[in-house]
Structure 1
Amino acid sequence: MRIIADTREQRVFSFAKYEAEVERAALPTADYSLPGFEDRVGIERKELGDLISCLMGANRERFVKELRRLSSYELKAVVVEASMRDVADGQYRSEMRPHAVLQSVFAFQVRYAVPFLFCGDRAGAEYTTFWLLAKYAREIEERMKALTKSQAPAKGEAA
């Protein structure tokens, strides 16, 4: 499977444990997508400190704009390289309180219908990103097969 990583993504997943090839390209939004589906599939990766930063000050408006763009995508998610327990325990450098962080995340999930997936660590986030993209690719493949099959002439009919 080919996966596109945005050119602005600084810590690109290698997907070395998976049957995947990563290519770099500018994506309209998010950090990861699939070739041909860049405007319909977007996975945004966040380290915990980056997520907290995106919830505060001027960064918040930029992040809201990204979530708005993602909201229209067929497959979208924010994968977080931390657990919800890490947030609840304040395992980050910021004055933002854990309750405020989680309330912002929950509000964004409801408002923009973009799930935030707390994956425990970087390996968990890479696993989640790969399998979300793989499952989407499989679904599209199955839809295309079904469509082709339904449009094929019935036995005995002329093509």
Structure 2
Amino acid sequence: MLIRVDTREQAPLEFERCATVRGTIGTFDYSLDGDQEHFAIERKSLPDLIQSLAIQKNWIRELKKIRRARAAGFPRLFYVVEANREDIEYFDSSIFTRGRIGPAFIFHQLSILEFEKDVHIIFSGDSLGAARDIYRLLKRRSEDLKAQEGE
């Protein structure tokens, strides 16, 4: 299994169990090499997740990425977050210049992604957990592709 890491990833994860290659992924950040047009996973740090949910232009961009993935036929959408869900409660929202964005609003936006947009959001704790979870999901995708070939 070879994991493709999008060229826009500024601090790519390292995977213990397999090699990676840098390349373009049209939507999201990590995929199996050769399968990037059909399945990929979005990785988010906590600040990136919160800014994607709280800032209007970022929210619109996020929804466009989701629509692009759906249009490409992605069977499932995954966001892997390098934090715990509880960390949202303690995030310093003073970075936002227009009012305070509180945890209730972020949880509301997450519920839209989870329930309305059918995005699976996995809180992995940290970058090591994110690498573990992305590897696990891509391994499962690889197994599914091999099973489809055998049918």
TM-score, scaled to structure 2? 0.88
| Other-structure match for 1:79 | 80
- Whether the 8 Å CA contact 1:44–1:78 is kept in 2: the answer is yes
Alpha-carbon shift at residue 57 of structure 1 (Å):
2.4
Runs of 4+ in 1 over 3 A off after TM superposition: none
Matches of 1:133 and 1:92, distance apart in 2: 33
SS in 2 for 1:41: coil
Q: Provide structure 2 residue ranges, at least 5 long, that are not aligned to the other structure.
A: 95-99
Larger radius of gyration: 1
Q: Provide structure 1 residue ranges, at least 5 long, that are not aligned to the other structure.
A: 148-159
Matches of 1:90 and 1:70, distance apart in 2: 31
- Whether the 8 Å CA contact 2:21–2:33 is kept in 1: the answer is no
Q: Which has the higher contact order (CA 8 A, sep 6+)?
A: 2
> Taking structure 1 as reference, are residues 5 and 92 closer, same or farther at Cα in structure 2, changes over 3 Å only?
farther
Alpha-carbon shift at residue 58 of structure 1 (Å):
1.4
Alpha-carbon shift at residue 29 of structure 1 (Å):
0.3
- Whether the 8 Å CA contact 1:40–1:75 is kept in 2: the answer is no
| Other-structure match for 1:44 | 42
Count the aligned residue pairs. Answer: 143
Matches of 2:76 and 2:2, distance apart in 1: 16
Cα RMSD of the aligned pairs, angstroms, is 1.4
SS in 1 for 2:40: strand
**Which amino acid in structure 2 is aligned with residue 61 of structure 1?**
I
